[in-house]
Each structure stands twice: as C-alpha cells, then as structure tokens.
Amino acid sequence: MKVLFFGDIFGRSGRDALINKLPFFKKKYNPDFIIANGENASHGKGISQSICNDLFSAGIDVITGGNHIFDNHDVFKFIDNEKRLLRPNNYPIDTPGNGYGIYEKNQKKILVINVMGRVFMQPLDDPFESIRKILNEKKIGIDVSAIIIDIHCEATSEKMAVGHEFDGKSSLIVGTHTHIPTADSRILENGTAYISDLGMCGDYNSIIGMDKNKALERFKKKIPVKGINPSTGEATLSSVLVEVDDRTGLAKSIQQIIIGGSLKEIM
C-alpha cells in the first residue's frame, strides 16, 4: 500500500496548487491513500466546510489539523460529523471533533492519529499517552493495515521523541506545523517511516506562508501589524510517499517529494 502525505496547506495558493496538481500525483505515484494537514487552508488560519469538500472531491482521503484548527468558526458547524477531518486527539475530552479515525480504502483499514506537541505550544494533554491509549487497542498488521501519526508541534526534538517512542508500532510518523521541510526522512530501526516536518503546500516567497513584507514589519517593530495575509505566489507542494508492507504494516520505503514554486524540486 502506498500512502501520500502533504504538509500544511496554506491559504488559497496552497490549496489551489494541491487540487490542480493532484491528478499528476495520482498518475505518477499511484497512491492508495492520501492525507494532508489542512489547519491553515482557510486564509492561513483554520478550515471551512467548503474547503474540506473541495479537498475531498479532489481526492484527499483525510485532513489532519493542529493549533489553528478552530480559528475559522465555520468548522464548529460540521467537525463533529465530518470524520475525515481530524483535530489533535490530546485536546480536552469534550472538545468538538475527533482526534483519530479508522478509514477503509481498497479493502484495507488505515488508522490516522492527530496529536499536538506541548513544547512551545498550548498546554494540552500528554501526546504520548494520547497515542499510547489508541495503540493499546489497535495493532498494525493485526487490527489495521497501517497506522499514520501526525505530530503537530514546534520542537523537532519532541517530534523525534514521538518517532522513537512509537517506532515499530506505526507505519508512518510525520511532523507538521513549522512549514519548513526537513531533510531527515528515513525508516527508523524498528520499521516506522519518519520525517521531522513535511513542510507546507504554499508560497515559500513568504514568511512561513504569510506576506513577507507585513510579517517582517511585525518582527522589526514588535508592535501589532494589521493586514498580514497569506502570500499568493506560486506554491510549492511538500510531501512524502511511503510504501507500507501489506503483511506487517511497517514501512518499506519513504520518498520525499517537493514540486513547484521556489524550492528545489525533489521527485
């Protein structure tokens, strides 16, 4: 089974590029299951139902979230019922939405878990325990064909800690949130594919997706700056393609794919 995972979709530039380019990815890489982090898809903060519908219609199977998942209040209208949209599982227990789900595709069951880190982030519940409770109930190669974890956080050390803690118990662990693709995609020693950060689907002629001039003004003046909007130039699509062993659920290979925009392409 092949799993394709796209980094944080940022604003119109990112989501339009992803929707337009998905047919190319499907034809060239033939993925069985496609995931994207979408917490910045709506003008850089949050996501709406119409954007979700556009992404699902284009071929995205599951959308994961993070600290901006609730910034567009439209999400409260549908997140409880839309099981294909996830928010971090370690939010308080009564938070709307779901932190994980099991999805059936081509007669295979794929478990996707979304958690958020706590280093330099909101003081949420323990992400390690949040994942562990789920994995105590669901085993790769037995209960499900694959287990995929999105750890959304600032610190690469915390992402790596999650990677090593659940190495051999999951198929793929990806870091999201910083919008900068890291060069450490690999298979860990017990068979789990890992990357510290996928990067983003957005315009890199920016400051992590936002208009660079306005964002720079905020850094220089250290005062509130109005009108910081997503950059609208050509987007880069950052992702990884992972081949999962159908028998064990562990990773056989991981390939970083970066296409378009101002970053060096990797295909």
Instruction: Read off the pLDDT of residues 186-205 as tens digits, 9 standing for 90 and up.
Output: 999 999 999 999 999 999 99
- What is the mean predicted confidence (pLDDT) over 222-238? 92
Contact predicate 51/93, CB 8 Å: no
Amino acid at 156: T
**Angle made by CA atoms 180, 55, 143, in degrees to the nearest 5:** 85
Would the pLDDT of 241 be above 90?
yes
Percentage of the chain lying above the pLDDT 90 cut: 96
Out of 73-77, 130-134, 226-230, least confident range: 226-230
Residue identified by tokens 């979304």 is 114
Would the pLDDT of 223 be above 90?
no
Compute φ and ψ for 181, nearest 5 degrees.
-70, 130
Domains and their CATH numbers in the chain: 2-259 (3.60.21.10)
Q: What is the pLDDT of residues 115-136, one digit of tens each?
A: 999 999 999 999 999 999 999 9
Would the pLDDT of 169 be above 90?
yes
Of these residues, 68, 152, 177, 179, which one is catalytic?
68
- What is the mean predicted confidence (pLDDT) over 156-177? 98
Would the pLDDT of 224 be above 90?
no
- How do the residues of the chain divide into helix, strand and coil, expressed in percent and rounded to 5? 25, 30, 45
Would the pLDDT of 259 be above 90?
yes
Would the pLDDT of 227 be above 90?
no
Instruction: Give the confidence band of 225 by pLDDT, cuts at 50, 70, 90.
Output: confident
pTM: 0.97
Q: What is the pLDDT of residues 78-92, one digit of tens each?
A: 999 999 999 999 999
What pLDDT score does 150 carry? 98
Within 10 A of 125 (CB to CB), how many other CB atoms are there?
A: 16
Amino acid at 22: L
Query: Is 68 known to be catalytic?
Result: yes
What pLDDT score does 41 carry? 98
Percentage of the chain lying above the pLDDT 70 cut: 100
Contact predicate 65/47, CB 8 Å: yes
What pLDDT score does 218 carry? 87
Dihedral sign, Cα of residue 97, residue 150, residue 176, residue 59:
negative
What pLDDT score does 226 carry? 86
